Structures are given as structure tokens and as C-alpha cells.
Amino acid sequence: MAGDTLALVKPGCHFGAREFDAMTSYPFQMIDVFGDGAFAGNPLAVVTTPDDLDLATMQRITRWLNLSETTFLLPPTDPAADYRVRIFTLDRELPFAGHPTLGTCHAWLAAGGAPQAGDMVVQQCGAGLVRVRRDGVGLAFAAPPLIRSGPVEEDKRREIAAILGIAVDDIVDAAWVDNGPGWVAVLLDSAEAVLAVEPARHHPERVEIGVVGFSPGGSAETYEIRALFSDPFGGLVEDPVTGSLNASVAQWLLGAGRVVGSAGTPEKIALLTEKYRYDAAFNYKDGSVSRQLAVVCRQGE
């Protein structure tokens, strides 16, 4: 996952029309996050600096590297943290994002970082302290608290429906699930409905939309999720894996009582609700799975 450490800026290199005559170099690593092989995941540049650079310089470096996100790895200012990170997209700084969190943690560990608490790494970022667990196989972060939650305004629902090319009534539920980037999530009737969405490819206002639908009983996946967001030029792009959205949608579904299971016998249904604390469970042999899921989701059971 980790790339080599390279000099980011050397004498005589240019950013735009400005030349850096004095030696200004910062090591960085190229990290491949969420991939199951080389060049298969979300790329990330992690720049290590001893102190904060000014905002304009960090944004300029991010644009020059031209990846979806670049992070700046810094010493922590909170004694409870192992390191501090600032996260940038091509046009703004984010308080938190998923694949930059995992990639930065990997880069810190690869550079010799030693956590204060064994296998639990504590990251300091704009969203506060985020815990990242390592288990010998990979890294997993604990979802930070939502910056914005709650119901979505009717005007916003109509805007989202228009972007997705669906009727407002096709939205079963909607909520703000913003943990940094600005996510709003909408629940559709099924995973099939989510996969059928053909969204617009341009929108004049910035949007970050998560589209969610439950899968039928017996499926390998519990639900389908798609992530749509604005690029710096007003285009709408889809990200195949978005850690921050997956985390905040899980928080929403848990908080709304939407952890729903399915099984083929009454005994297994009882096991799901009583032992594993599912909010609801139903028998997938009893009629339409999609209809049963829609009823449970609308009732918030």
C-alpha cells in the first residue's frame, strides 16, 4: 500500500509561475487505500511536515499532486493523539474523510510510528480524535460524531430527487449524515432501486449524496450504497468506495433502528433480535422480501 518517500519540492521546481530557489522539501508517501491489489484502490498522497504550512501552500500542493485527496501529517497538539492530520481535496480542507484517515495512519505506521495504546492508534483531525484499530490484517476507524444530523428539508428532498432522476415519493427516508464532507443520505425502497438510479452529471450547487437501499434476504450484502458528490468544476462523480459515507450511514441506520435481519425460521429470527440485538427481523420465506423491508423501514422498527 505504501509508496516510496520522495522529495516533494526541490530547488528550481515550479508551482504555477512561482519558482522556489531555496531548498523546500517535504517527504511524501503514495498510499493505495481500499484496494485488493496494486493500483486498485483510492490513491492518497501523505505529506509529512514538522509544522503547519499556510493554508494556501497546502491547497496548492494538493492541486499540484492532483489526487482526490492529499493529507499533511503533523505532530499532535493533543497529548492523547499519536499524530495530527489535515485533509485536503482539490478545492477545500475537510475536517474528516475515510480513506485519508486509513491511508495517513498506514503512512505513519510505515514511517515507524508507535501508538501509545498498543494496537489502537489515535488520530487528531478537524473532527477531533478518531481511533483507528489495527488487527494484523488491516486498519479500521471508529466513526466520529456527526457534525450535522436530523431530517432533510423538503426543498432539499426535491433537489436530491431531481438529481437522482426519481420522484420525491420514491425516497423512503432522508437524513443529514455529515461527518465532514457534507453528506446527506436517502433511503430507497430496495437495493435494486439504488442500482437503477441514473443521476445527473452536473449540478450548479455542491452536493454530497449517499443513496441506500436494503438487499433481499439471503443476499451477501445487507444493503447497497452509492456515493455521489460534486467535483471542483460542478460535475457530479460517483466514488465506488467512500469510507466517511459508509461510516455515517451505518450510524444513521443504527440510530434510526434500521438494523434489520432476515432468517428462515422463527428460532433464527429470535436469535437475531434477542442475542445479536437487531432492531427487527423477518422471515424471508413469508412473501415479498422487498415489501417486508419497506414496511419495517417506514415504521422505523
Q: What is the SS3 string spanning the chain?
A: CECCCEECCCCCCEECCEECCCCCCCEEEEEEECCCCCCCCEEEEEEECCCCCCHHHHHHHHHHHCCCCEEEEECCCCCCCCEEEEEECCCCEECCCHHHHHHHHHHHHHCCCCCCECCEEEEEECCEEEEEEECCCCEEECCCCCCEEEECCHHHHHHHHHHHCCCHHHCCEEEEEECCCCCEEEECCCHHHHHHCCCCCECCCCCEEEEEEECCCCCCCCEEEEEEEECCCCEEEEECCCHHHHHHHHHHHHHCCCCEEEECCHHHHHHHHHHCCCCEEEECCCCCHHHHHHHHHHHCC
Catalytic annotation, residues:
69
Which backbone phi and psi does 164 adopt, to 5 degrees?
Answer: -80, -10
Q: Which residues contact 149 (CB under 8 A, 6 or more apart)?
A: 175, 176, 177, 178, 252, 255
CA dist 17 and 91 (Å) reads: 19
